[in-house]
Structure 1
Amino acid sequence: MTANTTRHTRCYSATAALALTTLVAGGVTGCGASGTTGTTPSTSAAASATPVPQMISTAGHRLAFYLTPGKSPAIVLDAGGGADSSYWQNLVPVLAKQTGREIVTYDRAGVGRSDEVPGPWKAQDAASDLEAGLTQLGITQPVVLVSHSLAGEIATYFVDAHPDRVGAAVLIDANLPEFFTDTETAELVAANQPQIAALEAQPSTKQNRQLLAEAADYGPAHLAYHKMSWPQSVPAIAIVSATTPFDTPDDARLWKDAQAQFADAAPDRRLVVADNSSHDIPTDRPDVVVKAIKDVIEQVH
């Protein structure tokens, strides 16, 4: 694939989910591309419904975890970049009712009620945070890991380090290693320099600082991520959106190809297309997400 001017001038809303790893609400605005700005509940709107967190400490910072009681295996929901645990507020009661399982959501470092951590964001560190949280909460049996967008990177590093801790996974329009070729990563880095500059020009807020931390070292981090692989022993369903996070045909095709390549790499993987959905599948098609979770629960022993 050859870089070209059209690809490098794609609008912020189409690149945000991959490069700055968020669906922006406020701050830098999208250019009106359909299906990419998302309808995720904002943190402020959901604050009144947020339960009291259980705070755990690891590596010098504190993280907020939220538990809905139920039986094993626990379902762990990990939101995309820039989103906190409130992203799942509408899905949690549905999952609890339909599965009877324990539901775990949490705020990653730098979002929600969790502490900020200085320096570039690293998926490996986020995976270590998740492992520490589950361990301190006594959730040591294999879980069903449900990861959206950026959280696909955390899931990959987590399952690579702790394959015995994940019984199965649902990866929702997730950042998968297969997508981040040298060419695509270089184009993503180039395409997002104006957006990074725009964020740097805004007042410093917790949200903006976290977005900039996620953008820092993006190129080298994703070239390394491209070399990762999902263990053959851990079943997974990859759900891909109808529109993908992109509004350019080449990128959309590469995104869908990467999702299919992942699903085809092992017998216990499956690709599901969420029709009539944007990248924001958990909001647009929660029924597809719930069905996939219920399906993989059967594979957790």
Structure 2
Amino acid sequence: MGFQTLPRGNDKGDRPWWLMALVVLAVGIAVIIAFNDIYSQVFATVSRGIVITVIVTFTGFALAIALGLLVALAGMADSIFLRQSSRFYIEVVRGIPILVLLFYIAFVGAPAFVTAYNFVFAPLMADGWIEPLLVRDVSLMWRAIIALTIGYSAFIAEIFRAGFQSIDEGQIEAAMSLGLSRYQRFRLIVLPQAIKVIFPPLSNDFVAMVKDSSLVSVLGVADISQAGKIYASGSFRFFETYSIVAYIYLILTIGLSLVLRRLETRMREKGTRNE
């Protein structure tokens, strides 16, 4: 028996009942928060960490995209040194858990940076132009952002590499025959087509970083998880607190997933019309 072709974007063309169920659940929890004093207090406390979570996620992901793009381009360079350096970076970073990377950057990388900074600018410090830098002067939030940037840049570099290599070599050769420079070939031929391949996995990584940003709480960064941890340890209301923490993360991640999925659909429809 043959298999029926399935519509794109929905496995069997079903209505999104899962989304409707989640909306009903979200509204139900919102009603509980509005009319229950305990849940209202928990929500008011925990929601203070949303701004930090958003800052860490957006800043870390933007920097990870920039660094990942550079690593991907180095991996496709003519220089064997750049290619091997790119591969070394990717394999090493992908082999280290994000939590270990957070600790390493926070408690090894930051002190090393401070030592190097004070060594380089020692003459200026001796003349009184600038003050010596202390480890505590390096924000814990920025240590967390840098760790997330490094951790995700390796995966994003592989996404970029796969997208760029998906372009047919014939198009590159045709562009070269027209006299386009490497930058022009990349901007006019490779990037516009590769972005359709790159966007879906890149959006998945963005949603994943929203969740992984909760790991910064181990450094004491006042995000959603840290706010929940502090409140629960003081009030012993673990069920209420972590139910609200999970609720907020679900709202953020599912809402973001729906927005990104809509953008992906519009990009696909635009590409179809152009063809």
**TM-score, scaled to structure 2:** 0.24
More strand, by proportion = 1
**TM-score, scaled to structure 1:** 0.23
Larger Rg over CA atoms: 2
More helix, by proportion = 2
